[in-house]
Structure 1
Amino acid sequence: MNTFSSITGSLFNPSYTQYHTPIVLCDFDGTISIKDVTDTLLDHFGQDGCDELEELWINGKIGSQECMSKQISLMDASLEELNQVLSKIEIDPSFKSFINYTEQNNIPVHVVSDGLDYAIQFILKRHGIEHLPIFANKLLHDNERSWRLEFPYSNKNCIKQSGNCKCNHVKKQQYFPQILYVGDGTSDYCVSHNVDFVFAKDKLVNYCEKNRIEHCKITNFADVTTALKQDQQAVIPVMMVKE
């Protein structure tokens, strides 16, 4: 019987007193990273059955937690092979400058992802970004070629049946006067209703427009940095989109 264990290093868990700055919550796949990491890994290592699970999820017959759990269990790869693929995944070139700006101005940033904790940590570290709080699904390995997922941030009441309930994470940010969110896709739809302002890419732009969610259309994190610089009182009025 295979024994699975986490391969992720110790993740930074912040503690806060009352803050006078906003907090920025960032999706990872397609937002910080150029490619969707899970899709990339499944393209390389997924075995028969992954596409069928994806169809079930797209058609709303299973939630993302069930879909990802079963897909990851169908991966066949060594840790070295996995790392070789992860080492080729690039991030938004302006993300590191964005992190430098937020650190200089004491604005906390959390990565809140329905992706894989090990993959996120590996990719960010390769780009010189460490000690960033990461809230994601836990990737487990059996030290051979099999993989599993655990869901430390799941919520049985999650509307989207996600592995990581982003809305639940938002509820824990009571120390901040304003919660800003950066995202791009379907895993960001629900949480966009529960934050103060959204920086949106790709599919999330249309969703925010359709649902009259206050947002700013961005192409990269340089746009987010510009907005934060223009907003000295955490109101984000300059680039706000109102319907």
Structure 2
Amino acid sequence: MSCFFPIADYRKCHQPLFYTNNLNQYAVLCDFDGTISEKDVTDTLLNQFGNAKCALLEQQWQEGIIGSQECMRQQIANMQASQPELDRVLAQIRIDPAFSEFISFAQSRNLNVHIVSDGLDYAIQSILKRYNLDFLPIFANRLLHNQQRSWKLDFPYANDHCLKASGNCKCQHRRKLTGFQKIFYVGDGTSDFCVADKVDMVFAKDKLIDFCQQQRIAYYPIKNFGDVTDILPELLKAPAENSCLTPV
């Protein structure tokens, strides 16, 4: 029987959440796949290393037959690749060119930035490492490998009561962020829906824009993190000074 081991660097992944002090009054939660990364990392790996069952599982998830946690658990179990093969695909995935500038801005303003993703911890860390950004706290599903060609997922942030049945319940992370004056969220897809109405402002792309419109959640539509960097300075000012910016 194969033994599976986590392969992400736990000194950098799954760190305790930062808490507010006199300098850190604001937090930004960021999705990864399709938000920070230019394309969905898990889909890319499954297209490369998955089998026919992965597509069937995706269809069952889209039809609401299974939740995203169960879908991903089975999909990753149906993936066959060595770690070097996986690394070669991850090395080709790029992030939003404006993300590094956004992080520099966040550091200059003492903003806490956390990555909360229903994706794969090792994949996220591996990609961010190429950009010297792997110091960011990453909260994602735990990727396990058997040192051969098989993979498994562990879900350290699952919540039995998660409305989206996600592997990583993003609402749970939001609840742990206590004491901040404002909490912002940047995302693009269905795993971001449940947390969108629990933050002070949403920066939305793609499906998340449609959801915010349908649910009448205030948001700013963005194309990339350059838009976030442009808008945030006004939102960090006193409320009386924010009249020049109106969310959708």
Match of 2:191 among 187, 193, 197: 187
Q: Compute the TM-score of the two structures, normalised by the length of structure 2.
A: 0.94
Preserved CA contact (<8 Å) 1:64 1:160: yes
SS of the residue corresponding to residue 209 of structure 2 reads: helix
- How is 1:1-243 mapped onto 2 (pairs within 5 angstroms)? 1-10=1-10, 11=13, 12-18=15-21, 21-233=25-237, 238-242=244-248
CA drift at 1:204: 0.9
8 Å contact from structure 1 (residues 184, 204) kept in 2: yes
Q: Would the aligned equivalents of 1:8 and 1:121 in 2 still touch at CA under 8 Å?
A: yes
Structure 1 residues 234, 100: CA separation in 2 closer, same or farther (over 3 Å shift)? farther
Q: Can you list the C-alpha shifts for 1:97-143, whole angstroms capped at 9, x where unaligned?
A: 00011011100000000000000000001112121000000000000
Task: Determine the C-alpha separation between the residues in 2 that align with 1:136 and 1:176.
Answer: 22
In the alignment, the residues of structure 1 paired with residue 198 and residue 133 of structure 2 have an alpha-carbon distance, to the nearest angstrom, of 28
In the TM superposition, what is the alpha-carbon distance from 1:209 to its structure 2 partner? Answer: 1.1
Normalised to the residue count of structure 1, the TM-score between the two structures is: 0.95
Q: Where do 5+ consecutive residues of structure 1 fail to align?
A: none
* Structure with the largest fraction of helix: 2
8 A Cα contact 1:116 1:138, kept in partner: yes
SS in 1 for 2:158: coil
Q: Is the 8 A contact 1:6 1:140 kept in 2?
A: yes
Deviation for aligned residue 1:211: 1.0
Q: For residues 237 and 111 of structure 1, do their structure 2 counterparts lie closer, same or farther at Cα, with a shift above 3 Å needed?
A: farther
Q: Measure the CA separation in 2 of the matches of 1:67 and 1:234.
A: 44
2:220 alignment partner AA: C
Question: What is the CA distance between 1:3 and its match in structure 2?
Answer: 0.3
Structure 2 gap segments, 5+ residues each? none
- Distance of 1:231 and 1:15 partners within structure 2: 21
Hey, what's the Cα distance between the residues in 2 that align with 1:186 and 1:91? 20
Do the aligned partners of residues 234 and 196 (structure 1) sit closer, same or farther apart at CA in structure 2, a change above 3 Å counting?
farther
Q: C-alpha distance in 2, partners of 1:15/1:31? A: 22
Q: Is the 8 A contact 2:17 2:177 kept in 1?
A: no
Residues 64 and 16 of structure 1: is their aligned pair in 2 closer, same or farther, counting only changes over 3 Å?
same
Counting matched residue pairs gives: 242
